[in-house]
Structure 1
Amino acid sequence: MVIKIASHVERCYSNEEGKIIQNLIKSNLEKNVSLTLSFEGVSGVTSSFVNTAFIELLDNYNFDFIKANIKFIHTTKQINKMIKERYAFEVKKRNELVIA
């Protein structure tokens, strides 16, 4: 299933906007529906948006599951970098907590 981000939020700046996208993602993942998220028409995202929309998913799903079931298309370098860096940081931090 393809979700066009710009059809659900005006911008990708706030936690509130991130929560809208997170809820869409979770409702589909709960039904075992793999997702493709399209950032068509979105020029950039903030860490607040990414943290709420994507990183908080780690509270319910492991990273391998997220990686296998969510794809990103029509992104920019900034969007790719923000998502990748935030996931890398959080996965590392959570793994360190498990080991400690």
Structure 2
Amino acid sequence: MSVVINVKREIGGFDFAGSRGSGEIIRKKIKPILDEGDKVTLDFVGINGITQSFADEIFGIFIRAFGVGYIKDKLLIVNANENIRKIINFVVSYSKKRTA
């Protein structure tokens, strides 16, 4: 099963995901789905940009707490522009270096 989470809807309709708090809301929705073994698709349609803090709250925390295997192939990203992908990739790369 795959659950689609619309980032824009989850952050209140804004086109920029800038706060750690917004990332936390999404992370808390994702975790029980992943724990059940299901996949999550994060849909960034209508989002023009994100901050490193937002990305870290989702991707970084999962990777540092559970390892990259926890989200690999289970957390999919769609409709993300190049800048959003660059920030996510930076956070993933940084966080992988910080795991035990």
TM range (shorter): 0.7 to 0.9
Query: Partner of 1:33 in structure 2?
Result: 38
In structure 2, stretches of 5+ residues that fail to align are: none
Query: Partner of 1:77 in structure 2?
Result: 82
Question: Greater share of strand residues, 1 or 2?
Answer: 2
Query: Partner of 1:2 in structure 2?
Result: 4
Asked if 1:62 corresponds to 2:64, the answer is: no
CA distance in 1, matches of 2:96, 2:84: 18
Deviation at 1:59, TM superposition (A): 4.0
Task: Give the SS at the match of 1:3.
Answer: strand
Deviation at 1:65, TM superposition (A): 2.7
Q: Pairwise CA RMSD of aligned residues?
A: 1.3
Deviation at 1:63, TM superposition (A): 0.3
Identity of aligned residues (%): 25
**Superposition TM-score, scaled by structure 2 size:** 0.86
Asked if 1:24 corresponds to 2:29, the answer is: yes
Bigger shift: 23-32 or 55-64? 55-64
Aligned in 2, Cα 1:92/1:60: closer, same or farther, shift over 3 Å? closer
**Superposition TM-score, scaled by structure 1 size:** 0.86
CA distance in 1, matches of 2:56, 2:65: 14
Larger-Rg structure: 1
Matched residue type, 1:51: D
Task: Give the SS at the match of 1:35.
Answer: strand
Partner of residue 50 from structure 1, selected from 48, 52, 55: 55
Query: Partner of 1:90 in structure 2?
Result: 95
8 A contact 1:20–1:53 mirrored in 2:
no
CA distance in 2, matches of 1:59, 1:79: 20
